[in-house]
């Protein structure tokens, strides 16, 4: 039995290595030697870039802190709103998403750690194409959309179709059919990018709804159609997670499926106020209240 277990583990490690080879590994200066897990808590920053390729210089269209806590036995997705006014190391104060433009994932993680007093040392960068491919790979997602949201999906599809060379009108939705709608990859991407309904708070909530739906469908999709999931997603990911770290996480996947998946956003209601700083519309945040919120998520205090 011991020998069989060793063989299975070695086989899985070899297979994972083949899969990992399709991901773009990009170390983050200053974080390579830092632990990826502290006191039973793993924080991974999911960065959705508005670049069409995973390159620095674009904006971080989405920033979601994925917290896996052995203490709370839960997985939490926390959106960090891009308009939070923060101190950026080596730069003057600015919006949070400016940190990515100035210095990529490294500076963004450093900025988050400094302003929110947490430890996030690993990131996964996803571009538009990867997001759409991921949704398609799990067979799409079913979500409730209002008539207004349907209209904005079509509006965002205009740009997507132009960029990808698809005919005008491709994947447009019937705007009169408000209710539960099945969204494919491009449609889900368009839905997630909408910031005109509910401002950026509404947009980040839509992003988390799509990710939650994908997470629920991913295990079955991996069994049913692994090639689409692998080919559509992995080549479009960039991360500083090592192969060994991915292997360790994969061994715990069964446990994670039984854990509660929570979601929220920072700043919390009542802990911010709109402001105009140097001509920028930003959110001035009560950092102490939001630090406590993040600490509770990680450590259950």
pLDDT tens per residue, range 232-279: 778 888 999 998 998 888 888 777 778 888 889 999 999 999 999 999
pTM of the model: 0.85
Cα–Cα distance measured from residue 209 to residue 203, given in angstroms and rounded to the nearest whole number: 10
pLDDT of residue 287: 96
Low-confidence ranges of the chain (pLDDT < 50): 53-56
pLDDT of residue 50: 66
pLDDT of residue 68: 92
């Amino acid at each position: 039995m011991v020998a069989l277990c060793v063989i299975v583990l070695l086989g899985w490690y070899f297979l994972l290595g083949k899969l990992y080879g399709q991901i773009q590994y990009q170390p983050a200066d200053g974080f390579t030697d830092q632990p990826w897990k502290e006191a039973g808590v793993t924080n991974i920053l999911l960065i959705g870039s508005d670049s069409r390729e995973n390159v620095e210089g674009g904006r971080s269209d989405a920033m979601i802190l994925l917290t896996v806590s052995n203490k709370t036995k839960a997985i939490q997705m926390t959106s960090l709103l891009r308009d939070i006014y923060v101190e950026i190391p080596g730069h003057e104060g600015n919006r949070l998403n400016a940190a990515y433009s100035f210095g990529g994932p490294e500076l963004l993680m450093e900025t988050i750690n400094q302003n929110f007093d947490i430890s996030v040392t690993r990131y996964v960068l996803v571009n538009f194409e990867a997001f759409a491919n991921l949704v398609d790979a799990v067979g799409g997602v079913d979500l409730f959309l209002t008539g207004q949201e349907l209209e904005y999906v079509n509006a965002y599809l205009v740009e997507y179709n132009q960029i990808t060379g698809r005919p005008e009108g491709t994947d447009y939705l019937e705007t009169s059919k408000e209710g539960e709608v099945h969204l494919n990859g491009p449609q889900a991407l368009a839905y997630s990018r909408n910031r005109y309904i509910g401002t950026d708070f509404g947009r980040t909530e839509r992003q988390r709804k799509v990710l939650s739906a994908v997470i629920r469908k991913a295990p079955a999709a991996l069994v049913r159609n692994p090639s689409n999931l692998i080919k559509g997603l992995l080549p479009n990911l960039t991360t500083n997670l090592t192969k060994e770290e991915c292997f360790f996480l994969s061994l715990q996947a069964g446990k994670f499926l039984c854990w509660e998946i929570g979601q929220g956003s920072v700043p919390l209601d009542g802990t911010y106020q709109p402001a105009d700083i140097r001509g920028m519309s930003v959110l001035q945040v009560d950092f102490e209240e939001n630090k406590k919120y993040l600490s509770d998520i990680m450590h259950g205090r």
